[in-house]
A and B are shown apart, each in its own frame.
Chain A
Amino acid sequence: MIKASVEPWIEAPLQQFVDDAGVVLALLLHPSGQVMGQYGFTRAMDVMSACALAAAIHLSSSELGMQLEGKPFTGLHHAGKDRQVFIAETETRRGPYILLTVFDGESSLGLVRMFFDEFRVNLANAAPVPVPAPHPMLNENFERELNRNLAVLFGRA
């Protein structure tokens, strides 16, 4: 099952992709590097690092495509010894997102690409019309909590 998603509409398409394609890890992120949904990671910190690197890979390969062919590369595949990585962009009415997925011998590039095409359609259909997101109501004295937490973090408490 999907362990975490920032917005509920992402869960079903991502879960279906994971089940159908038989991948080990899946990460849907915003091009700025923010995670939108993930499967298979155990530490939030690892998710953030993977997102930062995936966004960087995607953006730099897009730029490389622009320089070489005048249009961005929108997908990338790397075959390692045991595991393979596939990164590709998908478009929704909420804007573009990037899927990073890792798979092993239980799946294949062909399967991943086939089910990614389905995922793109499912995600686009599931994406609601953008509405202004409510902002979190932080306590009036949240600065005190912030200062306390930072002091603890830096061993100053």
Chain B
Amino acid sequence: MSLVNYQTREITSKIVYYGPGRSGKTTNLHTIYSQVPDDRKGKMVSLATQTDRTLFFDFLPLDLGSISGFTTRFQLYTVPGQVYYHATRKLVLQGADGVVFVADSQARQLQENIESFQDLHQNLSEQGVEPRGIPLVLQYNKQDLPPDLILTTKELSDAINFRGVPEFPADALHGPGVFETLRGISELVLKRLSAGASR
């Protein structure tokens, strides 16, 4: 649910990074946080376990500046990827305007990716959101790993991207692909908002 304040001409949208455990969702936010100037971001909030796995969510507010005269802000969330945090994922997904699905490119993680993607669709449906209607981009993370350990972008695309949504190879730990992914989802969210199709 993007909020538009016409008095102050502000747009605020919620973007959720979704995906299986250890796929790199929190790393995406850390990389964004490390690259953005202090005056354009808020504190990064991480509700994590002692072993640094996301317990509830990570949260990063981001000021994108003025777009068409609207001060535009994005609230970036991650969900915990581990299967047993299903209830928490549903809560964080509530009211999302766009979703970045972060897939782990490692070949042995393919099944986890597929199950997490199905979990995303199920959770959206349960919240009355048409999964095919919500802005969604895919990120194939960990493409920096040795080629014998990972699947190619095409192989991952064939396995997961049956919707044909924008997809981005990435190495979130070092930065490549993180910016492009955020730009991709930003465009989709704002296009949908502008077209009046937002919930």
Residues of A within 8 A of B (CB): 4-6, 8, 30-36, 43-46, 48-49, 52-53, 56, 59-60, 63, 133-139, 142-143, 145-147, 149-150, 152-156
Contact = CB atoms under 8 A, between A and B. Distances in A.
A6 B3 contact: yes
Contacts of A138: 67-68, 70, 190, 193-194
B16 to A, nearest CB: 10
B11 interface: yes
B163 interface: no
B69 to A, nearest CB: 8
Interface of B: 1, 3-8, 11-12, 14, 35-37, 40-43, 45, 47, 56-57, 59, 61-68, 70, 72-73, 75, 77, 87, 91-92, 94-96, 179, 182-183, 186-187, 190, 193-196, 198
Given A6-B3, A135-B198, A150 B186 contact: yes
21 contacts: A4-B5, A5-B5, A6-B3, A6-B4, A30-B3, A31-B95, A33-B75, A45-B42, A52-B61, A52-B75, A60-B56, A135-B4, A135-B193, A136-B194, A146-B183, A146-B187, A147-B183, A149-B65, A149-B67, A153-B36, A153-B64
Q: Which of A35, A43, A56 lies at the interface centre, i.e. has the most chain B CB atoms within 10 A of its CB?
A: A56
A156 B187 CA distance: 18
B88 to A, nearest CB: 8
A53 B14 contact: no
Contact of B42 (A6, A48, A133, A142): A48
Contacts of A53: 45, 59
B194 A153 contact: no
B129 to A, nearest CB: 12
A5 B12 CA distance: 13
Given A137-B194, A146-B187, 14 more contacts: A5-B5, A6-B3, A32-B96, A33-B95, A34-B75, A49-B43, A49-B61, A56-B91, A56-B92, A136-B4, A138-B67, A145-B66, A145-B68, A149-B64
Given A4-B8, A44-B63, A30 B95 contact: yes
A32 B94 contact: yes
B12 A149 contact: no
A34 B45 contact: no
Contacts of A145: 66-68
Contacts of B3: 6, 30, 34-36
Contacts of B72: 146, 149
Contacts of B12: 34-35, 48
B73 A44 contact: yes
A140 to B, nearest CB: 9
A49 B45 contact: yes
A45 B43 contact: yes
Contact of B1 (A5, A34, A146): A34
B45 A142 contact: no
B1 A30 contact: yes
A149 B65 CA distance: 6
